[in-house]
Amino acid sequence: MAYKLSTVMPDMPPILEINIDGISTDNCRQMWCEVIYQAWRGAFPKIYRYGKGQTFTYNQCADMRRDQDWFGSSAFYEVCEHAGVNGDSILAEFNSCMSDLDNYKGARGAKGRP
C-alpha cells in the first residue's frame, strides 16, 4: 500500500509516496529513538560535533539551545511515548549531564549513544 505525502503535506510533490506495507512497530520505535538521539547529540555539540575551545556560530548556538530546550517539553514526552522509552529517566540523565559536562564526557565518551 502506498501512502502519498501530499495527502498530509499539500506542498509536497505528488510523486513522493511511501510504501507502508513493510513498516513495523519496531521500525517506528527505532525511528523515534533516533529522534531522541539526534536531539541529544545536538544538545551537546562540544562533545559530539566540535572540538574543545572551538567557537560556535550564532546558528550553531541557536540549534544547541533549541535541542536543549526540547528535553522536558510536551513534544519530548510524546516522542518518548512513541519510542516506548521512559521520558523521565532520559530527562534525569539529560539534566545530570547538563549539570556536569566534564564528568559526562569522561564517563561515557563521545562515541557511544546515550
Query: Quick one: pLDDT at residue 109?
Result: 46
Q: Name the average pLDDT for the chain.
A: 76
- Taking only the tens place, the pLDDT of each residue in 69-93 is 999 999 999 999 999 999 999 999 9
**Over 70: is that where the pLDDT of 106 sits?**
no
**Over 60: is that where the pLDDT of 102 sits?**
yes
Closest to 86 in 3D by CA, of 77, 96, 99, 95: 77
- Taking only the tens place, the pLDDT of each residue in 32-61 is 999 999 999 888 877 766 555 567 788 888
Q: What's the pLDDT band for 114 if we cut at 50, 70, 90?
A: very low
Query: Quick one: pLDDT at residue 83?
Result: 92
In angstroms, the CA 64 to CA 72 distance is 15
Q: What backbone torsions phi and psi does residue 73 show, to the nearest 5 degrees?
A: -80, 170
| Rg, Å, the chain Cα set | 17
DSSP-assigned letter for residue 7 = G
Q: Is 4 helix (H, G, I), strand (E, B) or coil?
A: strand
Domain layout of the chain by residue ranges: 24-108
Q: Which residue in the block uniquely carries the three cell numbers 509516496?
A: 17
